């Protein structure tokens, strides 16, 4: 399929579409399921979509380290999920590299099992944004063709990215990240809504989620029923006992995504940990009494 011949308009699921089916034995299916299990792009697929995607993913062994899987500037054909091995990501700020020349640019990331790449060119009909090289021998990738990616995986992904990118850009915690890193966080976010007075987190509960206040305001209480010690507004993130002081929309990350994706900002978070702020407030409160 040539890129230009393909419509940019989002496809409707009612259109005739038969994804390719690559037969797999049970051992392969097991490995594949493990590889995609922690990847946010595969969450929220319904049963039919899930089985179509599982069938259309094709095992692609990469025996040698140093194999170039994607070349910046090329037309996008496949999306890949890593089952085994590590891959370096290079970006040449000039936008593309000359064939044969050593102009890959700077190494910007390394990816490992469970992670995926190659979605950008397929989503935006754009040239490949980076060069991807295997750095370990005996790597295994699973590839998904562009049509199946666009028909099944893309809708969800682009919806989430659109919904959260503008918001994440405004969150001070994330301003030091490059846009692509914010896109990855957007992939992992889910939304929850609370009504005024609802308890979002109760003090002492085990906090499994990381919440970002997307809309509305919320108050922090040391004791329920007492005066709030802190208020949160749009863009704040939190722990502690938090009660919605208006209708609130939060974006939240599960523990898994939090650990994986917020590595780059962990230091900033430690510096202005809301729990530290809260402890400070507690000390103040104690001095008062």
Residues in touch with ligand 1OR (CB under 6 A): 70, 76, 89, 91, 108-109, 117-121, 128-130, 132, 178, 180-181
Torsion, Cα of 8, 116, 151, 58 (10° steps): 120
Tell me how far apart the alpha carbons of residues 238 and 249 are, in angstroms, rounded to a whole number: 13
Shortest Å distance, C-beta 254 to ligand 1OR: 20
Q: Which residues contact 278 (CB under 8 A, 6 or more apart)?
A: 220, 222, 229, 230, 239, 240
128 is in an annotated binding site: yes
Shortest Å distance, C-beta 34 to ligand 1OR: 21
Shortest Å distance, C-beta 70 to ligand 1OR: 5
Nearer to ligand 1OR, 19 or 118 (CB): 118
Taking residue 121's Cβ as centre, other Cβ atoms within 10 Å add up to 23
68 is in an annotated binding site: no
Nearer to ligand 1OR, 184 or 249 (CB): 184
Shortest Å distance, C-beta 90 to ligand 1OR: 9
Of 46, 105, 57, the residue nearest 82 (C-alpha):
57
Shortest Å distance, C-beta 89 to ligand 1OR: 4
Nearer to ligand 1OR, 146 or 241 (CB): 146
Q: Which segments within the chain are labelled E, that is strand?
A: 58-62, 68-70, 78-84, 87-91, 106-111, 116-117, 131-134, 139-145, 190-194, 199-201, 210-215, 218-220, 230-232, 237-238, 242-244, 248-253
Nearer to ligand 1OR, 76 or 216 (CB): 76
Residues belonging to the chain? 289
Q: Which residues contact 174 (CB under 8 A, 6 or more apart)?
A: 168, 181, 182, 185, 265
Shortest Å distance, C-beta 174 to ligand 1OR: 13
Nearer to ligand 1OR, 24 or 184 (CB): 184
Tell me how far apart the alpha carbons of residues 89 and 110 are, in angstroms, rounded to a whole number: 6
Of 259, 152, 272, the residue nearest 208 (C-alpha):
259
What residues form the annotated binding site?
119, 128
What residues form the annotated binding site for 3',5'-cyclic AMP?
119, 128
């Amino acid at each position: 399929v040539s890129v230009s011949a393909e419509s940019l308009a989002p496809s409707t699921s009612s259109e005739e579409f038969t994804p390719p089916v690559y037969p797999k034995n049970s051992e392969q299916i097991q490995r594949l399921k493990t590889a995609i299990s922690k990847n946010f792009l595969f969450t929220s697929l319904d049963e039919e979509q899930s089985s179509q995607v599982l069938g259309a993913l094709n095992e692609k062994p990469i025996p040698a380290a140093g194999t170039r899987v994607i070349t910046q500037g090329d037309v996008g054909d496949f999306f890949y999920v890593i089952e085994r091995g590590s891959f370096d990501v290079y970006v040449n700020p000039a936008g593309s590299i000359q064939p044969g020349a050593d102009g890959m640019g700077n190494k910007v990331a390394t990816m490992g099992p469970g992670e995926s790449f190659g979605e950008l060119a397929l989503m935006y009909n754009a040239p490949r944004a980076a060069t991807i090289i295997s750095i370990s021998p005996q790597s295994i990738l699973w590839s998904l063709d562009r049509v199946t990616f666009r028909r099944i995986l893309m809708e969800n992904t682009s919806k989430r990215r659109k919904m959260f990118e503008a918001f994440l850009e405004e969150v001070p915690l994330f301003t030091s990240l490059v846009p692509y890193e914010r896109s990855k966080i957007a992939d992992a976010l889910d939304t929850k809504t609370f009504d005024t007075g609802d308890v979002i987190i109760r003090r002492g509960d085990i906090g499994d989620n990381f919440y970002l206040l997307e809309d509305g305001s919320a108050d922090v209480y040391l004791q329920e029923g007492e005066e709030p010690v802190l208020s949160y507004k749009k863009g704040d993130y939190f722990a502690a006992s938090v009660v919605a002081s208006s209708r609130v929309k939060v974006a939240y990350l599960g523990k898994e995504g939090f650990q994986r994706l917020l590595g780059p900002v962990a230091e900033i978070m430690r510096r202005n940990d809301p729990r530290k702020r809260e402890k400070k407030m507690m000390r103040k409160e104690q001095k008062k009494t």
